Chain A
Amino acid sequence: GAGVSQTPSNKVTEKGKYVELRCDPISGHTALYWYRQSLGQGPEFLIYFQGTGAADDSGLPNDRFFAVRPEGSVSTLKIQRTERGDSAVYLCASSVSGLPGELFFGEGSRLTVL
């Protein structure tokens, strides 16, 4: 596609449930990033992939959060045992070749945990 695509755009779930958020980056972009944005705040870094491997996962808040990119293209962010504090917009971005260049962002997946 022409841009970064994220699905679902909106997800409402109950506390304790498992959630998957998907990101399809721009074709040919080797680097993929996940950020989380709470209301009125800037994006907060979660994890960065270069190809299939996680180059930096220092932003993942705890072991309930996990992300994969098995074929070096599409990535899935997985959240286990969701908590109300996980409610936020999860943003995915890609770049041509990795740090520190321009990031191309998707529209985000808004997660609401009831």
Chain B
Amino acid sequence: SQQGEEDPQALSIQEGENATMNCSYKTSINNLQWYRQNSGRGLVHLILIRSNEREKHSGRLRVTLDTSKKSSSLLITASRAADTASYFCATDFSGNTPLVFGKGTRLSVIA
């Protein structure tokens, strides 16, 4: 079963624009992570946010977490063609449960 639900399923933007992807989940979580996957490749970890954190930054990435709404967002600022990929959120319910991934958002950045 998949816990996270990303929105939108697909997003197409121009280079230089910001891209925002959302993730909603159903039950209380321990941590939430975002991963990126280029076509035909493995997943690459982007950022981890703990349940007691509200916002984290890493370079051009900004992640927010709203536990009251059971949702997270990933913002990529000043997007580049190289950001074209699928982005997945993944949650764990406690320190002893494996990561459960959503279906992902396919981002296309047009040069």
Contact = CB atoms under 8 A, between A and B. Distances in A.
Interface in B59-111: 88, 90, 92, 95-104
A90 to B, nearest CB: 11
Contacts of A21: none
B99 to A, nearest CB: 7
A42 B98 contact: no
Contacts of B22: none
A59 B88 contact: no
A104 B35 CA distance: 10
A43 B101 contact: yes
Nearest to A46: B98
A107 B102 contact: no
A101 B97 CA distance: 11
Contact of A91 (B42, B95, B100): B42
> Interface residues of A: mostly helix, strand, loop or mixed?
loop
Nearest to A47: B98
Contacts of A91: 42-43
A108 interface: yes
Interface string A26-62: 0000000101000011111100100000001001000
23 contacts: A33-B99, A35-B101, A41-B103, A41-B104, A42-B104, A43-B43, A43-B88, A44-B2, A44-B101, A45-B99, A45-B100, A56-B97, A56-B98, A91-B42, A99-B92, A99-B98, A100-B31, A100-B99, A102-B33, A103-B99, A105-B42, A105-B44, A106-B42
Q: Which 7 A-B pairs have the closest CB atoms?
A: A42-B101, A105-B42, A100-B92, A105-B43, A102-B45, A43-B101, A107-B42
Interface of A: 4, 33, 35, 40-45, 48, 56, 59, 91, 93, 99-108
